[in-house]
Structure 1
Amino acid sequence: MAKSHVEAVYVKVSCCTELVMVSVSPCAYRHRYIFADELYLRSGCPVTWIQTYMYDFIYPVYECQDKDNNNAYMLKNNVVSEQALLFQTELYFPPRDIRYGPQKIPLECSASR
């Protein structure tokens, strides 16, 4: 049975009108190591660049837009104002250790137009 506590995963999100970049530290709370193949943007987009102390997801905003079962795009872009867009997605973390349940971490970033 999976434990109900949430692992602290350190995430940084940045974006512009063309790109979304999500950086994740492989070192989580309580010194648990996260492997690159345990992380996906919700639509199944894998890590694009593995660094020693950081995993990066770097995708154009028009990629990683596979539709889910409800026909909603995984990377949503909402017009906040005439000057700004809001991008929303989720980081999916299904750990190898089956004692811990999968996590979905909501992410968002705003970009000037």
Structure 2
Amino acid sequence: MTDQDNLKYTAEHEWVSIDGDIATVGITAYAADKLGDVVYIDLPAVGAELSGGTVVGEIESTKSVGELFAPIDGTVTEVNDAVVDAPDLVNSEPFGAGWLLRVRFTNLPELLSAAQYRELVGE
């Protein structure tokens, strides 16, 4: 389990963990709860160039289909194949085994702190 207070967040309900020039990205527990039971995840390919704020994937649940936005500019270095094979990991461990992708970023935009994100979602 990741220390959620040390993560950065987006208004699109994604979390970002920074380690050097690599960002690990996932969706928040709030987003996973709102989506319901996740049944399918479409992620960008390793090597894909991401542009912050653009749609890069899709998360489908029994209730709806949500878009995955790139929180940062960069190149995908790894995707979580375990989540593609078992999408319910996003529901059971959104801040752990349910991470989605890793990106070598070229610049880090202003992201929300944990306190700002909690305020955004009313927690």
TM-score by length of 2: 0.33
Greater strand proportion: 1
Structure with bigger gyration radius: 1
Greater helix proportion: 2
Higher relative contact order (CA 8 A, sep 6+): 2
